[in-house]
Structure 1
Amino acid sequence: MAYAEVAVSLPVGLEQTFHYRVPESLTGEAVQYSRVEVPFSGRTVQGFILGFSTPPQLKHLKEIKRVLEKEPFLNHHLYELAQWMVQRYLCSLGDALQCIAGSPVGQQKAERSRGLVAAEEGSWVGLARAPKQKQALEVALARPGLRKSQLAKTAGVSVAVIEALLAKGLLREGQRPEPVAWERLDRESWPELTAEQSLAVHELTEALQNPVPSAWLLHGVTGSGKTEVYLRAIAETLSMGRQAIVLVPEISLTPQMVERFQSRFGSAVAVLHSALSQGEKYAEKARIRNGQATVVLGARSAVFAPVANLGLIIIDEEHESSYKQEETPKYHTREVALQRVALAKGVVLLGSATPALESYCRARPGGPYRLLTLSRRVDRKTLPQVQIIDLKKEMAEGNFSIFSRPLVRALARRLERNEKSILFLNRRGFATFVVCRHCGQVMRCPHCEISLTLHSNGRLRCHYCGFGVRSPGVCPACGSKTIRSFGVGTQRVEEELQKLFPGCESIRMDADTTSRKGSHKKLLDQFRQGGAKVLIGTQMIAKGLDIPQVTLVGVVSADLSLHMPDFRSAERTFQLLTQVAGRAGRGEIAGEVMIQTYDPEHYSITTAQNHDFLTFYAKEMTVRQALRYPPYSHLIRILFTGLNEADVIGAGQWWRDRLVNENGAANYQGIEILGPAPAGIPKIKDRYRWQLMIKGSVSKEIRQITRSVLEQAGIRFKQVSVSIDVDPV
C-alpha cells in the first residue's frame, strides 16, 4: 500500500504536510499533484498529493477518500511557484496550491463542458420537416465547440432541439477545433507601426530570444497603441513555440480584448475569468494544458494558467489595485508573474499610461526593469484638452447642481452634434448617506461600522454586507422629520441628467447594473452601437474602452478618491483622472475633458490636466520619501477580526508585544510597529476589526519577524481570525 504526502488547504504550519494511505481502489488515479479529499480533524478537506513516501509513523494513518481530478492542472513549475508564495506571502503550502489550482471540477462536469461537433452536411437525413434542427446543425458546423446551452442560444432554438440532434447522432461531443496554424495568420492586414512601437517590438523580440528572464515596463499615453505592441510580442512568442499569458484588471475589459485577440490569433486564444462556469473553466484550462490554446487571456488568476512552455506574461493596466488578491494568500499578480517568468526564463511586459510608482521606480536607470516609452497617440491623434472646473466658484455664483454650467453646455453641444459622452463618478447609488439634520444621526448599517447608501428605489443599502432597509421618514433617534440625503452616486447623476436633457438616452454601468453574466459586454455594445448618447459609470469605465464616437468625458467629482485616508490617494486620483480622460478623442474628432473639483490646485489634478506623469511622479515621490512610505519602505498589515472586540484587541496587543520584545524588531534598523488600532472600517458583518502595521526598509526582515510570531501563535486565538497581508494595497 502506498503512502501519499498531502498538503491540505487549511491554516496549518506554513510548510506542514500530512501522510495518508492510498487505498487500492485509487491506485493509478492518485498521482503527483492530484487534488484529493482527505479526513482531517473530524471533517473532510481538500489537499494535494506532493509525492509518495513511507512516513516514520505508520499507526493511525487515515486513507484518502477520493480523487477530485484525474488529470491535475498543477505541474512542477507551478509547485515551485507555490513554494515561493509560502515564503513571500506567509501562507500555508496547501492554501498556495489551492489558489494556483483554482476551484475543482468533478469528472461529470468536465465531460459536460466539452463542446458539440456536427455531423457532415451530407449525412443530414430527414430534416426537411425539422427546420429548427437543421438551423442548429448549420450553426454547429460553422462554429464547432459550442456547448449545449451556447449552441441553442446562438441558433435561436430550445435546448430540446439540441437534445433531439444528440439522440439522432447528428451532434456529438468532441474537442474544439485545433488552433489556427501560426504560419497561416495574415500578417499583411496588421496595422503599420509607429517608430516608437517598432522600437518597442524590436527590444521585446530580442529579449524573448535571450535565455535570461527579463522585465519591461511599457509606459504609453492613452491611445498610443500599447495593445498592438502586445499582439506583436505574442506573435514572436508563438513563432518560437512558446505560450503567452495576457492579464487585464477588470472583467469589463475582457469582451473588447477577446475580440481583438481572437481576430488576430483565432481559436488559439483561451479565456479565463471569474464569470465563467466551472465547466467552461475546465474546458479552457484543459485546452491550455494540452497545448491547444497558446494564448491565455484573463483576469488576475489567469497568471496561474497551466501553460507547458511559458515565454511571455503581459499585464495590461499594471497599476490597477484589482491585481492584488484580497483573500489568503494575498498575492500581487505582478510579483507572481515576475517569479513565474524567472522560473520559465521568459519575459514580463507591464503596460500602463499611469504606472504604479513602485514599477516606474524599478524602471529608472539601474533598476531591475527596462523602460519602453510610447509618447504619442497613433495616427497623430492629439490628447484631449482638459479643463478644471472649480466647484467652489460654481456654488459662490449660485449653482448648486451636481453639474457645473460649463459641463452642461459641453453636454448640450455633444447631443446637438450626435456625439457620445461619458460621465464618470466613482461611487454607485443615489446618495452617499442619509442624516437627521436635527440631531445629526447618520443612518448606519447595524452589522458594519459604515453609513448606508441611498438608492433611487428609496432603499438604504450597505455595500459591504448587503443589508437593506427602507429609508425612514422620521429619525429613529429623535423622531424629527428633517431627514436629508447628502452626497452623489451614479443613480443620482442619471436622474439629474434626465432632468437637464429629457429624453436623452443614457446607460449606467456600476456594480448594480453589471451583476449578471455578460452584462458588461451587453451594456458596452448598446453604448457603442445603439442610440444611447451618454455612458454613466464608476471606475469600470475608466480604462480600456476604445469607443471612437466619444468626444467628451466629464468627471463629476475628482475629490472622492483624493481625500481618502490612504497614502496612495493622490496616486489613485491621478491614475483615475488620466485613464478616464483617455477615453475621449480616440476617433477623428478631438476630445474634451472636464474635471469638477473642490481642490483645483492639487498636484494630482493639475498634472492629470497636462497628461504629465513625470511631474506627478517627482512630486509624489518626494512626499513618499519624507513619510517613508513605499517604494521607500515595505509594509505588512496584520488584521484581527472577531465577534468580541475585547478578544480582538487582546490578540492585537499579544502580537505587538512579541513583535517588539521577543522577536527583537528593535534589533533591525528602521522597523516600526504601528498599532494595534481600529481598521479603516472598524466592523463588517458583525465582526470587529483591528490592525497592526509593520514598516521596514527590507522586506525580508519584516517577513522574518512576522513569521516567527505566526509560528508562536499557532491556534492560540480560536475566537479571533488573523490575516497577514504582505505589501498591502
Structure 2
Amino acid sequence: MASSSLSKPDPRRKPPSTGTRVSVLVPLPFPGPLDYLAPIPLEPGDLVTVPLGRRETVGCVWETDRTLPADFALPVGREVPLARLRPVIGKLDVRPLPQSLRRFIDWVAAYTLTPPGLVLAMATRIHLKDAPKPALGWVRTEMPEGDLRITPARRSVLNFASSTPMTTAELGSRSGASAAVIRGLASAGLLREAVIAVAAPFATPDPSHGAPKLSEEQAEVAQELCGPVEAGRFQVTLLEGVTGSGKTEVYFEAVAACLAKGKQVLVLLPEIALSAQWTDRFIRRFGAEPAVWHSDLGAKRRRETWRAVAEGSARVVVGARSALFLPFADLGLVVVDEEHESAFKQEEGVMYHGRDMAVVRARLADAPAILVSATPSLETLANVESGRYRHELLTARHGGATLPDVSLVDMRADPPERGLFLSPKLCTAIDETLEKGEQAMLFLNRRGYAPLTLCRACGHRMQCPNCSAWLVEHRARGILTCHHCGHTERIPKDCPECHAENSLVPIGPGIERITEEAKLRFPDAKLLVMSSDTLGSPAATAEAVRKISDGEVNLIIGTQIVAKGWHFPKLTLVGVVDADLGLGGGDLRAAERTVQLLHQVAGRAGRAEHRGRVLLQSYVGEHPVMTALVSNDFQTFMEQEAEQRRSSFWPPYGRLAALIVSAPSAEAADALAREIALSAPEREGVQVLGPAPAPLAVLRGRHRRRLLLRTMRGIAVQPILRQWLGDIKPTGGAKVDIDIDPISFL
C-alpha cells in the first residue's frame, strides 16, 4: 500500500465527527462513488486510502460536493448522516488524476455500460501498490561544531559532506569513515537526512533532432497534421497511405510539433511486437527513447512509467490500448497507428474499442487525433464521408519504390502435390527469388501444426473438454492445445475413442506444417519463423527483425505478426498460403478484415529498389476480395462493402450491441436467454436477433447464448439496454455480458 499523509486512526478512538462529505470511486463494481468523511481538505482526483468493509482499498475522490449519478442517488431523507460516515484513512503521495482522465473514465463507463469503478481499476490497479520509497542521503547542516570532539574521521566526513545528498555508503567511501561515525554526526546535528533526487526515467525527445527530408507530398500532409497540434484544437484526421509511403515519418512531424509546445503524445500500436522497430525509428528521429506501455512490462517499470506520465516527464508514450488510461498531465496529441486492426478491441472485462476511445480521449483533452492506416476501417471511412474526420492521403511509396505485382494462384488449376500445401508456381517463384539473393516470405494466419486432428478409423475429432473447439496440434512440443482456454494435453498414440493404433492424422496446415514442408522443399534456405509461439517477447521480435534486416535469413514464414508495418528492404516475394482463410463463417466483417490483412501482408514486398511480387493461393479467385487485391483497388472494394451494409443498416450505418449469456449448464443459459428475449424492446428502428447458441457454444466450461440488438444509426443502444435489462436478475452463476459495437461474433 502506498504511503499516506494521514496516519491510520486508533481503533480505540471514535472516528472524527467533523469534516467534509466526499464521494470516492473505488475500483470495484459499484454503480457509482461511495460517500466518506474527509478530515482534511481533499480535491477531485486525489487518490486516497479508504476503509471498505473489513479491508482497505485505494480510491479516487470523484467529487467533493457529492455529485452522484442519478441512478445512484439515495432517496430523500435516506442520506447517511455525516456523523455515520467512515473517514478517509489517508491521501496518497501521488499527483491527482487529471480531470480529463476522470471524465474519460465516466464516458467509457457510460458508453460500455460498465460500473465506473471497473474502468477506474484499469487506470490505477497495480500502479499505486508498493509506492517507491524516496532514497535518502546525508547533507551538511549549518549547526556549529561546538564542543563536539572532532576526530580525524569526523573531520573527513564533514569535509566531504555538502548540500548535495550522499548515501551512507557513498559518503563513507569518499571519507574513509565508518557508518557509525556518520550516524554519530547526525545525532550531533551536524548531518541531516535529505531526499536524493532521482533522474527522470525517460530522456526528453528533441523535436529538431534527425529531421527527415520529406517528399513534396509528405511535407504537405505533415503541415496539415501539424496545424491542429499547434493550435491546440481537437480534430480527427485519417492519414491514409499506400504501404511504404512513409506514414510514420509524416506523423512524426506532428509529434515534433507537439513536443515543441511542451505537451505529451500518446501513440497506440495494435501489437506489442511492433514496438521494437517503431522505437528504433523514433530514436533515430528524436534522439531519445519513448516511454513504452504494455502488459509485458515488469511491475516496477509500469509504476515508474505511470508516475512519469502523471508528472509530465514521460513526454511520448507508445503502447497498447491500455495506455489510454494513463494519467497524462498535458496530453497534446493522440495517434492510432494501424487503426483498422481488430487487436484494438478488448473483448473481456471492460469491452471497448481502443481506436474509438482514443478519439474520445483526445476530445476530452482538447487535443487532435490522427488515425493511420493503409487500409482504413469502414467505420473510419464513414466518418470521413460524413465530414466528422479530415482525410489526408499519401499516394506514392517513399524513395521511388513501387507497389508489388499481385497475382492469383488458382489452386484448382495448379494444385500442390498430394499431402502438401505449396503450389508448384509458388515454389518456383521462391526458388527464383532465393537464387537472386533476395528474401521471400510465406504467410499463413494459423498457429501450430494442424487445426484439427482426427481418427481415420472412426472419425473421432480431438476436441477441447472445456470449449466447443478443436484442439490444435503443436507437433514441435508434442501437444494438443485449445487456443481459447489454454487446455493442453499430450498427443495420444492411439485414438481415445476407438483405441485404434497410430490412427490419428492432422488435417489442414498450420505454420509448423508449412515450415516442415519448406525445409524439405528448400533445404538450402535460411529459415526464420515469426509467430506468437516463437516470438515470446518484444526483445525476441527485435532480434528476429534484426536477422531479417541484416540478411541472415532469406525465407521468413509467419502468421499475422508479419503483416504489421515492418520494413524489410530485401524482401521481394510474399506468398500467401491460404488466401481464403477468414472468408467463411458469416462474420459481418470477414471480407473487410481479409482484404485488410492480405493487403498489409502484400505491402511487405518490394519496399526498396527491387519490385515486389505477391502470390495468393486461392480456390475462390472470383471472390471480390481477390479481385480487389489483384487490381490493387481497395477503394472500390470498400465502396461496395459500404453499400451492402448501408442498405441493411449494419455498422457503421446502424448500431449493434451483443448480449452474451453464459451459465454453468446449457439449461440455465437457455432459460436466462429466453427470459431476456421475452422482454425484448419493440419499437420502430429497433430489432432483436436471437437468442441462439454462440459459434463457441461452450467456452471455458460455460455454456453461451447470444442476442443481438440492432438499431438505426440515430438510435442509441445504451438507454434501450438499461431499460431492457434493468429487471433481469441472473441467478445460479449465470451472467450477461454486454458488448457495445462488437467486432467478433464468437
Normalised by the length of structure 1, the TM-score is 0.85
Shift of 1:578: 0.4
- Counterpart among 563, 575, 579 of residue 554 in structure 1: 575
1:262-308 Cα distance to aligned partner (Å, 9 max, x none): 22223372221221112112222222222222222111112233222
For residues 726 and 177 of structure 1, the distance between their equivalents in structure 2, rounded to whole angstroms, comes to 38
Please state how far the C-alpha of 1:644 moved relative to its aligned partner: 2.0
- Aligned: 1:460 with 2:480: yes
Is the 1:422–1:553 Cα contact (8 Å) retained in structure 2?
yes
Letter in 2 for 1:85: V
Q: What does residue range 321-720 of structure 1 map to in structure 2 within 5 Å?
A: 321-364=342-385, 366-395=386-415, 400-456=419-475, 457-481=477-501, 482-516=503-537, 518-529=539-550, 531-658=552-679, 660=680, 665-667=681-683, 669-698=684-713, 700-713=715-728, 715-717=729-731, 719-720=733-734
What is the rounded CA distance, in whole Å, between the counterparts of 2:648 and 2:130 in structure 1?
A: 54
Contact 2:204 2:315 in 1 (8 A): no
CA contact (8 A) 1:177 1:267 kept: no
CA 270–501 in structure 1, closer or farther in 2 if over 3 Å, else same: same
Aligned partners of 2:253, 2:276: CA distance in 1, in Å?
A: 20
Q: Letter of the aligned partner of 1:91 in structure 2?
A: T
Instruction: Check 1:110–1:251 CA distance in 2 against 1; reply closer, same or farther (3 A cut).
Output: farther
1:82 to 100, 105, 118: 105
Q: After TM superposition, where is structure 1 displaced by more than 6 Å over at least 4 residues in a row? A: 28-31, 163-167
Using the alignment, how far apart are the partners of 1:586 and 1:65 within structure 2? Answer: 60
Q: Indicate if the aligned counterparts of 1:89 and 1:329 stay in contact, CA closer than 8 A.
A: yes
1:201 aligns with 2:219: no
Q: Give SS of 1:253's match.
A: helix
Whether the 8 Å CA contact 2:127–2:302 is kept in 1: the answer is no
Provide the secondary structure at the position in 2 that maps to 1:418. Answer: coil
Q: Does 1:39 align with 2:39?
A: no
Q: Deviations over 1:6-62 (max 9, x none)?
A: 22333332xx2222356x7xx68998441546424x666554332446863357645
Opposite residue 74 of structure 1, the aligned amino acid is: L
1:71 to 67, 73, 94: 94
Q: What is the letter of the counterpart of residue 198 of structure 2?
A: G
The residue type paired with residue 629 of structure 1 is W
2:61 to 25, 37, 49: 49
Q: Which amino acid aligns with 2:709?
A: I
State the 1:450 CA deviation.
0.5
Aligned to 2:736: 722
Alignment CA distance shift 1:430-1:38 (3 Å): farther
Q: Distance in 2 between matches of 1:648 and 1:167?
A: 70
Give yes or no for contact 1:30–1:70 (8 Å, CA) kept in 2: no
Letter in 1 for 2:492: P
Q: Which moved more, 1:4-13 or 1:324-333?
A: 4-13
Distance 1:73 1:728 in 2: 33
The whole-number CA distance in structure 2 between the counterparts of 1:428 and 1:80 is 41
CA offsets per residue over residues 482-510 of structure 1, 9 Å max, x none?
32210111111111111112243212122
Q: Which amino acid aligns with 1:582?
A: G
Structure 1 residues not aligned, in runs of 5+: 115-162
SS in 1 for 2:727: helix
- 1:437 counterpart letter in structure 2: R
Deviates more, 1:511-520 or 1:426-435: 511-520
Q: Distance in 1 between matches of 2:580 and 2:440?
A: 21
Aligned to 1:20: 36
Deviations 1:173-193 (A, max 9, x none): 82137744747x33xx53322
Give the Å deviation of 1:707: 1.4
The structure carrying a bigger helix percent of its residues is 1
Structure 2: give runs of 5+ residues left out of the alignment: 1-15, 67-78, 137-167, 176-195
Asked if the contact 1:394/1:400 (under 8 Å) is kept, the reply is: no
SS for the counterpart of 1:313 is strand
CA shift, 1:463, in A, is 1.1
Preserved CA contact (<8 Å) 1:39 1:65:
no
Query: Does structure 2 conserve the Cα–Cα contact (< 8 Å) formed by 1:39 and 1:62?
Result: no
Q: Deviations over 1:405-453 (max 9, x none)?
A: 1111121122222222221111100011011233322110111110001
- Is the 2:43–2:63 contact (alpha carbons within 8 Å) kept by the matching residues of 1? no
CA distance in 1, matches of 2:308, 2:98: 15
User: What's 1:142 paired with?
Assistant: none
Q: Which moved more, 1:645-654 or 1:598-607?
A: 645-654
Distance change in 2, residues 1:358/1:270 (3 Å): same
Shift of 1:394: 2.4
Matches for 1:250-289 after TM superposition, within 5 Å: 250-267=271-288, 269-289=290-310
CA deviation digits over 1:167-225, x for unaligned, max 9?
9589x882137744747x33xx5332222212212222222344542111111000011
Match of 1:213 in 2: 234
Tell me the secondary structure at the aligned position of residue 25 of structure 2: strand
| SS of residue matched to 1:203 | helix
Query: Structure 1 residue 522: deviation in Å?
Result: 2.4
Alpha-carbon contact 1:555-1:595 (below 8 Å) kept: yes
How far the C-alpha of 1:64 sits from its partner, in A, is 5.3
Q: Taking structure 1 as reference, are residues 36 and 323 closer, same or farther at Cα in structure 2, changes over 3 Å only?
A: farther
TM-score, normalised with respect to structure 2: 0.83
State the 1:400 CA deviation. Answer: 4.8
CA distance in 1, matches of 2:442, 2:197: 46
CA distance in 2, matches of 1:111, 1:402: 61
Q: Decide whether aligned partners of structure 1 residues 424 and 400 sit closer, same or farther in structure 2, where only a CA change above 3 A counts.
A: same
Q: Distance in 2 between matches of 1:546 and 1:97?
A: 38
Mapped partners of 2:724, 2:702: distance in 1: 23
Residues 449 and 511 in structure 2, CA contact (< 8 A), matched pair in contact too: yes
CA contact (8 A) 1:603 1:616 kept: yes
Q: Distance in 2 between matches of 1:221 and 1:169?
A: 61
Contact 1:211 1:345 in 2 (8 A): yes
Where do 1:219-238 residues align within 5 Å?
Answer: 219-238=240-259
Aligned-pair identity in percent equals 34
Question: Structure 1's 345 and 411: CA in aligned 2 closer, same or farther, altered over 3 A?
Answer: same
| Cα separation, partners in 2 of 1:182 and 1:678, compared to 1, 3 Å | same
Match of 2:341 among 298, 307, 320: 320
CA distance in 1, matches of 2:127, 2:244: 40
**Relative to structure 1, is the Cα distance of residues 70 and 655 closer, same or farther in structure 2, using a 3 angstrom cutoff?**
farther
The 1:343/1:470 distance shift into structure 2, 3 A limit, reads closer
Q: Deviations over 1:79-136 (max 9, x none)?
A: 1111111221111111122223353342445769x9xxxxxxxxxxxxxxxxxxxxxx
